[in-house]
Amino acid sequence: MSTDSERGFTPRPQLSDDVARYVRRRIFTGAFPAGEYLRLDQLAAELGISVTPVREALLNLRAEGLLVQHPRRGFMVLEVTARDIVDVASVQAFIGGELAARAAANITDEQLADLVAIQDDLESAYETDDLERTVRLNHDFHRAVNVAADSPKLTHVMSAITRYAPESVFPTLAGWPKQSISDHRRVIAAFERRDAARARTAMAEHFTVGVAPLTDHLIERGVIAPDACAEASGGA
């Protein structure tokens, strides 16, 4: 039986997720360099929130391997390597390609029309240099593909690995909007033909083609050391 307080409960988005997204973005822009310690009280004051969601966010980022917690010193930013970028993109390509292949077989005309509409809006956002809107619409595009794939477990795994990808950085890369638009249109064309093989290839290539420009960008920002990039390339 529900009580009055239960009926009046209004769920809220997890504030800690917003904090984690904020910190993750600053790590990938170089604002929080490797070796820097993040203070709970300072972050909380900067964001105008309590310490609790900040602590939860930093613990989650520790689990992702972006931070390490040292007793009595707090959370330190760990180095991001070129190999990290390659590894994340490779997993995204494999799982994302499979989801796209399944979506090609399952997608309805209504879902396809919605996907095209999202892509149209995304291209408009690129034209106006609206970073926040492009990130959101790009997320909506891939979410729509995953919904059409109708594979909840695989989608959950894809969502988990995507946390390690600096989504907000991609729209700022030179030439990326044009590349992204071309890739997304290839995926849509494969869906229109209900061609699973082409959809898998188009989506997989979409994730891997961004590795080189992203790595170069992160080197320029000092997020990745140039010698680490050379080692990753040599081992590929």
Q: For residue 63, what are the domain limits?
A: 15-77
Q: Is residue 179 part of a domain?
A: yes
- Residues 203, 91 share a domain: yes
- How many Cβ atoms are within 10 Å of 67's Cβ, its own excluded? 24
Q: C-alpha distances in angstroms, 207 versus 27, 72, 80, 87, 231?
A: 21, 40, 18, 11, 21
Neighbours of 30 (CB within 10 A): 16
And the tokens for 25? 């973005």
Is there a domain that residue 2 lies in? no
Residues 65 and 140 in one domain: no
- List, in order, residues 6 or more apart from 178 with CB less than 8 Å away: none
Both 71 and 94 in one domain: the answer is no
What whole-number distance in Å separates Cα of residue 126 and Cα of residue 140?
A: 15
pLDDT tens series, the chain, 236 aa: 434 333 443 334 578 888 988 898 899 888 999 999 999 999 999 999 999 999 999 999 998 888 999 988 899 999 889 999 999 999 999 999 999 999 999 999 999 999 999 999 999 999 998 888 999 999 999 999 999 999 999 999 999 898 888 888 898 899 999 999 999 999 999 999 999 999 999 999 999 999 999 999 999 888 887 764 544 544 43
45 falls within a domain = yes
The residue written with tokens 């997989």 in the block is 204
Are 110 and 152 within one domain?
yes
- On whether both 36 and 131 belong to a single domain, the answer is no
Size (the chain), residues: 236
66 and 88 together in one domain? no
Domain CATH number, residue 195? 1.20.120.530
pLDDT at 115: 98
Which residue, among 78, 77, 17, 76, has the nearest Cα to 47 in the 3D structure? 17
Distance CA(133)–CA(125), nearest Å, equals 6
Starting at the edge strand found earlier in the chain, the sheet holding 37-38 runs 37-38, 74-77, 67-70
Q: Give the pairing of strands 67-70 and 37-38.
A: unpaired
One-letter identity of residue 73: R
Q: How many domains does the chain have?
A: 2
Would 130 be classed as within a structural domain?
yes
- The answer to whether residues 66 and 27 touch, using CB atoms and an 8 Å cutoff, is yes
Confidence (pLDDT) at 227: 61
pLDDT on residue 234: 44
3-state SS string for the chain? CCCHHHHCCCCCCCHHHHHHHHHHHHHHCCCCCCCCEECHHHHHHHHCCCHHHHHHHHHHHHHHCCEEEECCCEEEECCCCHHHHHHHHHHHHHHHHHHHHHHHHHCCHHHHHHHHHHHHHHHHHHHCCCHHHHHHHHHHHHHHHHHHHCCHHHHHHHHHHHCCCCCCCHHHCCCHHHHHHHHHHHHHHHHHCCCHHHHHHHHHHHHHCCHHHHHHHHHHCCCCCHHHHHHHHHCC
